[in-house]
Amino acid sequence: MSNIDVTAKTYDLPWLARAMDWLAGDGAERAAGGLTRHLLLPAVGIGLFLMLWAAAASQIQTSLGQLPGPTQVWAQSVALWDEHREERAREAAFDERVEQRAERAIARGASDEEIAKIRARGYTGAPTFFSQIWTSLVTVMVGFLLASLIAIPLGILCGMSAAVYAAVNPLIQIFKPVSPLAWLPLVTIIVSAVYVTDDPLLAKSFIISAMTVTLCCLWPTVINTTVGVATVDRDLMNVSRVLRLSWFKQTVKIILPSALPMIFTGLRLSLGIGWMVLIAAEMLAQNPGLGKFVWDEFQNGSSNSLARIMVAVLVIGFIGFALDRGMLMLQRRVSWDKTAVLR
């Protein structure tokens, strides 16, 4: 036994080593092992990464100066936050001035129309990094929700009817691999042609970004919903037949709950894709958001630009992670199978 143990550790076969530990009854160390696994090891990984990054960055000279290391990036993220707060302060001051002007106008008995005109003048400062984050989040959520509203019903139909599936499947397979960059020019031109109004409720750029997200994150949800619906346990379907449940009741009481885990798998994949697509779409189409921030900094080319782009990269990563965790939490909440390991 001890021989095998040594071998396992020498040749670094973690699963075998773990199995041996388990067989040897190393339960007492499990609590300590949990702490190691969940805190210490990730910290070691991140620490190593930062060190490598710092070391590599100091070796690389770019046209915009030295490649920024972790410290410069941290400094820039603080600077971005300060800029954001200054901008908000300026906006508050502007709003106050507008309000004062409006009050003066009321005092001298100006017409309602004139006062409304004064108040309608909004603040037009440049969007800050943090307002770009917000724009991106709203856009991705709108695109994702729209995609879900189309994809889930379509997936249910495909899963229930082999005929619908046969008709729709080729389209899914053809459109699924299309890059967002290929959709974007089409969407831009079509939205520009169709969405013509003098008083736009939503900015055209917003619609273009959201539509591109929708087009790209439809597919995982459609496919996973289809599979989930098509693979409902036959025994449960037989229960439904014995009970003579109506089509609607069967869908609501049996098929949907049964397919829910797969639907959520699809939704999580979709949201992940949507977030990636959105950044690309914003960059290419100059639509407001994080992607535009990255592009602007790239064009700007100041000595801070590289560090700022790196801040954006990290933030994009964190938000993508947070979105996925959010979906996971939602999935855990609505999941009936509390024993399933979701990760």
- Residue ranges binding another protein (CB under 8 A): 233, 235-236, 238-239, 241-245, 249, 253-254, 257-258, 260, 336-339
Query: Which lies closer to another protein via its Cβ, residue 338 or residue 343?
Result: 338
CB 30 to another protein: min, Å: 25
- The conformational region for residue 274 under phi > 0 = left, psi -120 to 50 = alpha, else beta, is alpha
Min. distance of Cβ 155 from another protein in angstroms?
Answer: 19
In the complex, the smallest distance separating the C-beta of residue 225 from another protein, rounded to whole angstroms, is 17
Least gap, CB of 247 to another protein (angstroms): 14
HEC string for 255-297: HHHHHHHHHHHHHHHHHHHHHHHHHHHHHHHCCCCHHHHHHHH
Find the shortest distance in angstroms from Cβ 244 to another protein.
6
Nearer to another protein, 194 or 242 (CB): 242
- Nearer CB in complex with another protein: 160/191: 160
Instruction: Report the residue number, 204 or 253, with the smaller CB distance to another protein.
Output: 253
Residue closer to another protein, measured from CB, 265 or 287: 265
CB of 67 to another protein, least distance (A): 53
Considering Cα of 231, then 170, then 207, then 196, what sign does the dihedral take?
A: negative
Between 12 and 337, whose beta carbon lies closer to another protein?
A: 337
For residue 66, list its beta bridge partners. Answer: 61
Burial label, 89 (beta-carbon count in 10 A; 0-12, 13-18, 19+): exposed
The CB-of-236 to another protein minimum distance in angstroms stands at 6
Least distance (Å) between residue 254 CB and another protein = 7
Q: Give 60 or 242: the residue with its C-beta nearer to another protein.
A: 242
Quote the least distance from Cβ 241 to another protein, whole Å.
4
Give the nearer residue to another protein in terms of CB position, either 169 or 258.
258
